[in-house]
């Protein structure tokens, strides 16, 4: 059984879906939720689910390295072996990447490498794309980049709004992220030459 930490800045619906899905799983459990935003609804969710959370605000630290070192201290206390970014609105820096090589996952609401960035759902609509989707990937030093683990596509309907599309994307996310986490926890993911092999 590995301990995982979920990092959130906002709503935390993926955090909740991951925690719920792992409740009856023997391969991993959510040991900690790391949050950088005191207003995040994810903090309320962690309280309700009785999952330990820590609020670490970037503005309290001189630089990114000190901010990440404080996060690392908290992760070590909980013996965290996997980090799952779930709506964490920061680029991960060298301190965390070095301590957790190929042990940080992210979920993105588009089929990477299409529609990177914080507005992926709206950007796909504006581009009049016919299809978009969800990607779970390992995190590297670039934003929304790194070896892809799982992807699932969905059709954009003519009458979709940002809200209706976001709702269907979130439904997929809530299935796909736990699936990728279980693959990791069961030792089924290997990164070879920048590509993920699933055994």
Residue numbers at the binding site for ligand GRF (CB under 6 A): 8, 10-14, 86-87, 107-109, 173
Closer residue to ligand GRF in complex, CB, 69/123: 123
Cβ atoms of 184 and 196 closer than 8 Å? no
> To the nearest whole angstrom, how small is the minimum distance from the Cβ of residue 188 to ligand GRF?
22
Query: What token pair was written down for 4?
Result: 């995982």
> To the nearest whole angstrom, how small is the minimum distance from the Cβ of residue 161 to ligand GRF?
16
Closer residue to ligand GRF in complex, CB, 163/192: 163
Q: Which residue is nearest to ligand GRF, using beta carbons?
A: 87
> To the nearest whole angstrom, how small is the minimum distance from the Cβ of residue 27 to ligand GRF?
21
Closer residue to ligand GRF in complex, CB, 49/69: 49
Q: Catalytic residue at 170? A: no
Closer residue to ligand GRF in complex, CB, 107/149: 107
Closer residue to ligand GRF in complex, CB, 11/69: 11
Query: What token pair was written down for 181?
Result: 């986490």
Please provide the DSSP assignment of the chain as one string. -EEEEEEESS--HHHHHHHHHHTT-SSEEEEEEEES-TT-HHHHHHHHTT--EEE--GGGSSSHHHHHHHHHHHHHHTTEEEEEESS--S---HHHHHHSTT-EEEEESS-TTSS-STTHHHHHHHTT-SEEEEEEEE--SSTT-S-EEEEEEEEPPTT--HHHHHHHHHHHHHHHHHHHHHHHHTT-EEEETTEEEE-
Identify the active-site residue in 24, 108, 119, 137: 108
> To the nearest whole angstrom, how small is the minimum distance from the Cβ of residue 150 to ligand GRF?
13
Q: Show Cβ contacts of residue 43 under 8 Å, excluding neighbours closer than 6 positions.
A: 12, 33, 35, 53, 55
> To the nearest whole angstrom, how small is the minimum distance from the Cβ of residue 74 to ligand GRF?
20
What positions carry a catalytic annotation? 108
């Amino acid at each position: 059984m590995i301990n995982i930490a979920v990092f959130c800045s906002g709503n935390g619906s993926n955090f909740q879906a991951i925690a719920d899905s792992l409740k009856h799983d023997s391969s991993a459990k959510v040991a900690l939720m790391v949050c950088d935003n005191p207003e995040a609804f994810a903090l309320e969710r962690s309280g309700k689910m009785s999952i330990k959370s820590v609020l670490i605000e970037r503005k309290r630290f001189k630089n990114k390295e000190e901010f990440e070192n404080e996060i690392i201290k908290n992760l070590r206390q909980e013996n965290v072996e996997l980090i799952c970014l779930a709506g964490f609105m920061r680029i991960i820096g060298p301190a965390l990447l070095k301590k957790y090589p190929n042990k940080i996952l992210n979920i993105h609401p588009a089929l990477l490498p299409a529609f990177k960035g914080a507005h992926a759902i709206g950007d796909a609509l504006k581009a009049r794309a016919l299809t978009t989707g969800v990607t779970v990937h390992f995190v590297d030093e670039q934003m929304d980049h790194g070896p892809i683990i799982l992807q699932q596509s969905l059709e954009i309907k003519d009458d979709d709004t940002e809200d209706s599309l976001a709702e269907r994307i979130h439904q997929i996310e809530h299935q796909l992220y736990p699936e990728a986490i279980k693959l990791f926890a069961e030792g089924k993911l290997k990164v070879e030459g920048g590509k993920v092999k699933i055994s």
